[in-house]
Structure 1
Amino acid sequence: MATVHNTKPLSSRTVETMKPGDKIKSDTGENIGLRVKCGATGLKTFFYRYTSPITSKLVQVKIGNFPETSLAEARLKLQELKQVRRQGRCLASEAKEEKWQKQQEREQDQELELGQRSSVEKSFTVEKLVELYLTQYIEDRKSPSGKVIAGARKPKGQSETRRTLYGDVIPKLGEMPANAVTRKAVVDMVMAIVQRGANVQAGNVLRELSAAYEFAIGLGYFSDEFANPAILAKSSLRQAKMKLTHQRGKRVLPDTELVALLKWLPGSDYTATQNVLRFTLWTGCRTGEVCNAAWKDIDLKKRTFHIRESKTEVERYVQLPSQAVEFLKTLRLITGDYPFPS
């Protein structure tokens, strides 16, 4: 931008009326070196232009913006800067040096932070990842006040999840840093489970390991660039058409076999087991639901069985057939709180 060399000193009015596109205006007399420019947004800036005593090149230093910095204040600051220049110092060079120094400090801080994070991540093994997931999410835990906080799973599910992870994940990957586990390492672990014929267990292991990683990622245990290796492995196995779910049952009892079974059960051994099987056949309930049945959930008058806890976590009422009602009336006389005690 061109400069207008004034023969008259700058005035507040001159600065105030400057518009975008106007040439840079300069002061005169003892204030020579003071300049003001109006930017494209209309912002007016005072700066000191001088020859550096160090590089012998023309440089400039910002003084302030108008009207926050008045013309009188800019002139006072100018005299201070000139005094510094007379001492052989170059403020522009010092500002660049300070900026470079701060950049170096930021880079060093970032390197230190990365080093510390790397050290922490190396000590955060897969076993610690699993324990974090189990103790802070899946299982019941106590608050600082001593109050018990229910886990995400019921007691049976808690023990099954711990057994699943400690049975297959910990022996293979437990000592590895959690951030060093690769897609291939997870795929190899899952395929080893598949090779022993436990496809469903392989799917369970992969699901729980993936959930453990997601839990830790959510708590900030990994960098923003980290990718869940279990999710990556799941994608690879899906592409390979690897089935990790149970096969739908194909064997069913035809009517003739069902009749034969119902006739055979009353005279079979293991009374408790035969009672569960008979009630299961009459109602179509899961054997686990039958074993957990309590008399408080059974209404013989309304002929209903209230299932409060099920595999799908949805409670429901089951209508009881007449055979089941008569059978329960007999059991009521010889059992306590539960019709099918273990």
Structure 2
Amino acid sequence: MPKPVKGLTARQVQTITAPGYHCDGAGLYLQVTARGGKSWVFRYQAGGRRRDMGLGSASTVPLAEARAKASEARALMGRGLDPLAQRHEPIISPPITPTFREAAGLFIEAKRAGWRNAKHAAQWVATLEAYAFPVAGQKPIDQVTTDDVLAILNPIWTTKPETASRVRGRVEAVLDYAKARGWCDGENPARWKGHLALTLPAKVKVRAVEGHASMPYRDLPGWWPRLQVADGLGARALELAILTAGRPGEVLGATWDEIDLENRTWEIPGTRMKAGAPHRVPLSGPALDLLRKLATVRRGSVVFPGAREGRPLSNMAMAMVLRRMGLGDEVTPHGFRSTFRTWAAECTPFSHEVCEAALAHTVGSKVVAAYQRGDLFEKRRALMGEWAGFVMGGRHDG
């Protein structure tokens, strides 16, 4: 039995340079010329002859769209028509309805440029591949029903409520996109309000949302000296994450042009923030001392450089530090934000708004945000100074 062809990936489409035809499967090929030009070709048999049908340049037609075009051509062949001949027919053939998988691919490509980073698109693909495509991937988009959506969600709704909620929202978005493209009509079978809400329990009632595993704040000062003597940049990154209450990704992605040592400030651009808005971080004394030491061994633009030039440490770097210290199953890097927030609530007089602003959380309604234009920076500087003093066991004035 012939071995099934493994399809191309979007990354391979960008990086392949070897001239020739590179098979994606089901008759779709990426043609690479000797000069490096790339185009899509659909290869099929008609009247006993092999025929090649161009589907456009790979620079303007992404992989998902090429697959959708090839699917349309195969559908024409299934009706006894020659796809190339149909291009010259004066009569317009009825539109070919894509499968749910194909529609999802087109939606992701259409939205990719507006997403903050490639990781977001990868998460979309991963969740749909894991949960939605096995159930409805090969169904024409206009035939996806509420029963299909429930078949996707029921196995994970009570065991993985956060994931299930994201999957439902993504399926709903793909179906809305298909409706906008004219591939289906009627009510969206994945909508929550007034539909799935009548069938599935609300996410908040399934179980309490589990936060990241965190260290009790009372244990932190006693543990801190162990972290300070731990080797490696991963340990230093974790130190800065704790002292600034920053998200691990924000810390690992820090660049030296964001750091102002003279004014004791770290300015993170909105493109790297979860909420999409720029965030100023006041640097306490210990945080400043740490960054000054790192500056003496600086190499390149990244504060915490990894093995690849110009790239930061892996997202797992901080977690590996905790694992080596025997805390891998008890504490997560992100959990130190919870440690900070609990300490701030129980041990300081700072307001809810100041504490939330220190975590770069959006506070209140849009109306509140419109009137509260400032970022409470000086109050946050005082808060982070007290936090540093607590972490250091009172050995530093922050």
TM-score interval for Structure 1 and Structure 2 normalised by the shorter chain? 0.5 to 0.7
**82, 102, 106: which is aligned to 1:128?**
102
Question: Hey, what's the Cα distance between the residues in 2 that align with 1:170 and 1:216?
Answer: 16
Give 1:194's aligned residue. 157
- Give deviations 1:169-219, integer Å, cap 9, x for gaps: 111111112112111221221121235x32211111111111111112112
Question: Hey, what's the Cα distance between the residues in 2 that align with 1:326 and 1:234?
Answer: 55
TM-aligned CA distance change 1:272 to 1:194, over 3 Å: farther
Question: Hey, what's the Cα distance between the residues in 2 that align with 1:314 and 1:256?
Answer: 32
Question: Hey, what's the Cα distance between the residues in 1 that align with 2:212 and 2:256?
Answer: 34
Give 1:205's aligned residue. 167
Give 2:187's aligned residue. 227
TM-aligned CA distance change 1:239 to 1:260, over 3 Å: farther
Q: Report the 3-state secondary structure (helix = DSSP H, G, I; strand = E; otherwise coil) of the residue aligned with 1:206.
A: helix
How far off is 1:167 after superposition?
2.1
**118, 122, 125: which is aligned to 1:159?**
122
Question: Hey, what's the Cα distance between the residues in 1 that align with 2:241 and 2:198?
Answer: 36
Matched, 1:330 2:330: no
Give 1:300's aligned residue. 261
Runs ≥4 residues deviating over 4 A? none
TM-aligned CA distance change 1:193 to 1:254, over 3 Å: closer
Q: TM-score, normalised by structure 1?
A: 0.56
Alignment of 1:38-187 (within 5 A): 120-121=96-97, 124-135=98-109, 137-139=110-112, 150-187=113-150
Q: Report the 3-state secondary structure (helix = DSSP H, G, I; strand = E; otherwise coil) of the residue aligned with 1:327.
A: helix
Question: Hey, what's the Cα distance between the residues in 2 that align with 1:133 and 1:254?
Answer: 43
TM-aligned CA distance change 1:120 to 1:193, over 3 Å: same
Q: Confirm or deny: 8 A CA contact 2:227 2:239 kept in the other structure.
A: yes
Q: Confirm or deny: 8 A CA contact 1:304 1:317 kept in the other structure.
A: yes
Q: Confirm or deny: 8 A CA contact 1:190 1:206 kept in the other structure.
A: yes
Give 2:53's aligned residue. none
How far off is 1:239 after superposition?
5.5
Question: Hey, what's the Cα distance between the residues in 1 that align with 2:181 and 2:258?
Answer: 41
AA paired with 2:303?
P
Q: Which structure has more RCO (C-alpha within 8 Å, separation ≥ 6)?
A: 2
Q: Confirm or deny: 8 A CA contact 2:141 2:178 kept in the other structure.
A: no
Q: Confirm or deny: 8 A CA contact 2:141 2:183 kept in the other structure.
A: no
TM-aligned CA distance change 1:288 to 1:157, over 3 Å: same
Q: Report the 3-state secondary structure (helix = DSSP H, G, I; strand = E; otherwise coil) of the residue aligned with 1:229.
A: coil
Give 1:42's aligned residue. none
AA paired with 1:313?
G
AA paired with 1:242?
A
Question: Which ranges of structure 2 fall in alignment gaps of 5 or more residues?
Answer: 1-92, 306-312, 314-398
**272, 297, 306: which is aligned to 2:233?**
272
AA paired with 2:259?
I
Q: Provide the identity percentage.
A: 24
Question: Hey, what's the Cα distance between the residues in 1 that align with 2:143 and 2:251?
Answer: 46
TM-aligned CA distance change 1:339 to 1:250, over 3 Å: closer
Q: Report the 3-state secondary structure (helix = DSSP H, G, I; strand = E; otherwise coil) of the residue aligned with 2:280.
A: strand
Q: TM-score, normalised by structure 2?
A: 0.48
Alignment root-mean-square deviation, CA:
2.5
Q: Confirm or deny: 8 A CA contact 1:183 1:232 kept in the other structure.
A: no
- Give deviations 1:70-107, integer Å, cap 9, x for gaps: xxxxxxxxxxxxxxxxxxxxxxxxxxxxxxxxxxxxxx
Q: Report the 3-state secondary structure (helix = DSSP H, G, I; strand = E; otherwise coil) of the residue aligned with 2:167.
A: helix
Q: Confirm or deny: 8 A CA contact 1:165 1:205 kept in the other structure.
A: yes
Question: Hey, what's the Cα distance between the residues in 2 that align with 1:222 and 1:167?
Answer: 24
How far off is 1:232 after superposition?
5.3
**How many residues are aligned here?**
209
How far off is 1:252 after superposition?
4.8
Q: Confirm or deny: 8 A CA contact 2:142 2:183 kept in the other structure.
A: no
How far off is 1:267 after superposition?
2.3
Question: Hey, what's the Cα distance between the residues in 2 that align with 1:120 and 1:331?
Answer: 58
TM-aligned CA distance change 1:153 to 1:298, over 3 Å: closer
**296, 299, 303: which is aligned to 1:339?**
303
**231, 250, 275: which is aligned to 1:289?**
250
Q: Confirm or deny: 8 A CA contact 1:186 1:233 kept in the other structure.
A: no
TM-aligned CA distance change 1:171 to 1:246, over 3 Å: farther
Q: Report the 3-state secondary structure (helix = DSSP H, G, I; strand = E; otherwise coil) of the residue aligned with 1:290.
A: helix
Question: Which ranges of structure 1 fall in alignment gaps of 5 or more residues?
Answer: 1-115, 140-149
**261, 266, 273: which is aligned to 2:223?**
261
Question: Hey, what's the Cα distance between the residues in 1 that align with 2:161 and 2:194?
Answer: 13
How far off is 1:154 after superposition?
2.1
